[in-house]
Amino acid sequence: SILYHLHQYQHERQELIAIIQQKLIKLFIKLHQLESTAPKFSTNNP
């Protein structure tokens, strides 16, 4: 039925969103780590 396919689509979409969110969080953490280490390098090497 159409409702079943719609439900399956919503479920797959939720899983996709969760995966994307996890990748984004990891990206933000990497960016944050780079930003926190960048000033140290710039102050050590004027």
Confidence of residue 2 (pLDDT cuts 50, 70, 90): confident
At 43 the pLDDT is 57
Tell me the pLDDT band of 39, cut-offs 50, 70 and 90. Answer: low
Q: What is the DSSP string of 1-46?
A: -HHHHHHHHHHHHHHHHHHHHHHHHHHHHHHHHHHHHHHHHHHH--
Kindly report, residue by residue over 12-38, the tens digit of the pLDDT: 999 999 999 999 999 999 999 988 887
